[in-house]
Structure 1
Amino acid sequence: MNLGDDDFTLFGLPQRFALDRADLDQRWRRLQGEVHPDRFAAEGGAAQRVAMQWSVRVNEAYGRLKQPLQRAAYLCELRGAPIEAENNTAMPAAFLMQQMEWREALDDARDVAAVEALDAEVRQAEAALIAELDTLLAENADAAAAKQAAQRVRALMFVARFRDDIDRRVDGLGQ
């Protein structure tokens, strides 16, 4: 193992969006078992510090890989298309219109049923974006696909925030 390896290499996984979560969890447990500082207690402080670095590295990689949106952003970055959500907010006009329609529908919703119907629509759009990511971030994807994927990740970031707004609206209507 090398501390400089990318997360996928560290876990012995192909660089693609679709991952088997149970397999990832099993690999994480195995790696943690190999590098946990307690295994190196008899070898002294220096060995334990190195083991701690490894343990932190494995946990950080696991945190990125287990979250689909973080995994997608990481893949985009590895392929030369960083998300840069703070600096790059450019989105296709159709998605911007969809955002506006969703916002208006949420503002106009007067009962939980209306908000839940909107949530179902947003979940469907989210699933479509995730399916596109799976295709765009296949193991052999090129830089152009990574750029398209970065745009989808930014869209999914909006969808995640909007779904939080939906949850707050449902909570507000339920009171």
Structure 2
Amino acid sequence: MQLTDDDFTLFAVAPTFAQERSALDARWKELQREAHPDRFASQGAAAQRLAMQWSVRINEAYQRLKDPLRRAAYLCEMHGAPIQAENNTAMPADFLMQQMSWREELEEAGDAAALDALQQQVQAARARALSSLDWLIDEKGDYPAAAQQVRALMFIERFSGELDERLDRLGQ
């Protein structure tokens, strides 16, 4: 195991979108126990610094692997299909229409029931997008299409956050 290993190698799991969260959690705990700086206290400052680097690397990998969106983006980038969300915002027309429709519904929603109904729609779209990523990455190996789906999911996640904020404000 090396600091430069990819996250999947570091966690000893297959480089796939589908991952068992419990397996990732267990491996994270195991790796953290092995690399904890306190275990290297008797070996001097250099050994403790290296253990700290390992601990940071393990945490970074864990954060990426446990989050489906970040894991999908990482897999796409590993396979030559960078997400480039900052400068590649091109999306299919039907997706953009859906986004506009949701935004209109959010503006017009006057009560918690309307916001809850919209939230259910958004969560269903999120579930479909995640399922699509599973199929595009693990079954088809179509990383450019998966990268586009990741960008779509990023829009969905951002809108979901705005919807949650609106629900919170309404509840206060």
Q: TM-score range by the shorter chain?
A: over 0.9
Q: 5 Å matches for 1:1-175? A: 1-138=1-138, 141-142=140-141, 145-175=142-172
| SS class of match (1:73) | helix
Stretches of structure 1 lacking an aligned partner (at least 5 in a row) = none
Partner AA of 1:169 in structure 2: R
When the two structures are aligned, how many residues end up with a matched partner? 172
- Provide the rounded CA distance (Å) in 1 between the counterparts of 2:171 and 2:52: 46
| SS class of match (2:83) | coil
Change (3 A) 1:111 1:13: same
- Provide the rounded CA distance (Å) in 2 between the counterparts of 1:49 and 1:42: 13
User: TM-score, structure 1 length as denominator?
Assistant: 0.94
- Provide the rounded CA distance (Å) in 2 between the counterparts of 1:106 and 1:65: 32
RMSD: 1.2
User: TM-score, structure 2 length as denominator?
Assistant: 0.95
- Kindly, what percent of the aligned residue pairs are identical? 61
Stretches of structure 2 lacking an aligned partner (at least 5 in a row) = none
| SS class of match (2:96) | helix
- Provide the rounded CA distance (Å) in 1 between the counterparts of 2:92 and 2:150: 13
- Provide the rounded CA distance (Å) in 2 between the counterparts of 1:135 and 1:34: 35
